[in-house]
Amino acid sequence: MISTLLQYQMVTGNLNRSLKVTAQDPQVARESAYYLKTIGSIKSIDEFLENDRVYAFAMKAMGLEDMTYAKAFMKKALEGGVDKRDSFANRLADKRYAEFVKTFNFSRYGATTTTFSRTQKPIVDAYVRQTLEVQSGESNEAVRLALYFARKAGSLKNPYEVLADRALQQVVLTALGLPKEFAAANIDKQAAVITNRVKFEDFKDPAKLDMFLKRFATMWDLQNGGPAAAASPAVILNSAAGAAGGIGQDLLARIQSFKLGGF
């Protein structure tokens, strides 16, 4: 069984090649070509939502594939725009909706919205990246989480942005060795713990981000019975130590108490 860390490194070791291979997948190439050919002809919110292929492509590209069915919800977000602080999209805790509306800003630009470059090739690139993440997650969900975190981490500024996104929250809590029950704690308490143990500026440093994700991968396997659970404490400590935020003595003690083959 291959460890989460090794699977992640197999994808990211040559990320450009991984993305190129994904882009050449027949279905991905076909949907990408259709999107680029069609998006410029769409002039309104209704036309956007009525073209299922274009709409679904955009939703997946922006990380909202699970909400593709909610057209009424997305229409409300698109119609409200993002110019006003109290608009529907801006009030949502999950900032992906505001990002989507900002990209497809029919509320402000009307029929010219799809002439902007941000609605074209960047959306295809994002779709390819999303597809790579989804495919990677089919064999190991942790790899998908790590790829997603790596993509989003550089823009994170505070713990509430982490807590508003379930995937980001799962990565951070796992990396910090916090129990699943911690996610049910008061949100301000969660934020305080994360602030105390994570330096968000470190995520702008590729080396420090890589160390944090190595720690996540190691802790994921420990918690889910992956290969790391059978490794020696010395190997675990070497692979997990030094990540952003450091490892507390309580966590070190827990790791050192692990037995070969499991807990």
Q: What pLDDT score does 180 carry?
A: 84
* Percentage of the chain lying above the pLDDT 90 cut: 80
Residue 108 pLDDT greater than 70, yes or no:
yes
Q: What's the angle, vertex CA 237, arms to CA 234 and CA 238, rounded to 5?
A: 85
Average pLDDT over residues 44-59: 98
The residues facing 259 across adjacent strands are 262
Average pLDDT over residues 170-186: 92
Question: What would the CATH number be for the domain defined by 141-256?
Answer: 1.10.3700.10
Q: What pLDDT score does 122 carry?
A: 98
pLDDT band at 224 (very low <50, low <70, confident <90, very high): confident
Q: What class has domain 14-124? A: mainly alpha
Query: Which residue did the predictor score with more confidence, 253 or 76?
Result: 76
Residue 260 pLDDT greater than 60, yes or no:
no
Residue 206 tokens, joined: 């590729």
Q: CA-to-CA distance for 28 and 22, rounded, in angstroms?
A: 7
Average pLDDT over residues 159-177: 94
Average pLDDT over residues 143-148: 97
Q: What pLDDT score does 226 carry?
A: 67
Question: Do 14-124 and 141-256 show the same overall fold?
Answer: yes
Residue 190 pLDDT greater than 50, yes or no:
yes
Question: Mean pLDDT, the chain, as a whole number?
Answer: 88
Q: CA-to-CA distance for 16 and 19, rounded, in angstroms?
A: 5
Phi, psi of 75 (to 5 degrees): -65, -40
Question: Is the Cβ–Cβ distance between 181 and 189 less than 8 Å?
Answer: no
Q: CA-to-CA distance for 196 and 118, rounded, in angstroms?
A: 37
Task: Write the burial class of residue 184 (CB in 10 Å: 0-12 exposed, 13-18 middle, 19+ buried).
Answer: exposed
Residue 240 pLDDT greater than 70, yes or no:
no
Residue count of the chain, please give it. Answer: 263
Instruction: Look up residue 140 and give its amino acid.
Output: N
Q: What share of the chain is helix, strand, coil (3-state, %, to 5)?
A: 75, 0, 25
Residue 10 pLDDT greater than 80, yes or no:
yes
Cα 81 to its chain centre, rounded Å, is 24
Q: What pLDDT score does 262 carry?
A: 33
Q: What pLDDT score does 93 carry?
A: 86
Lowest mean pLDDT among 19-28, 102-111, 228-237: 228-237
Residue 239 pLDDT greater than 80, yes or no:
no
The residues spanned by each domain of the chain are 14-124, 141-256
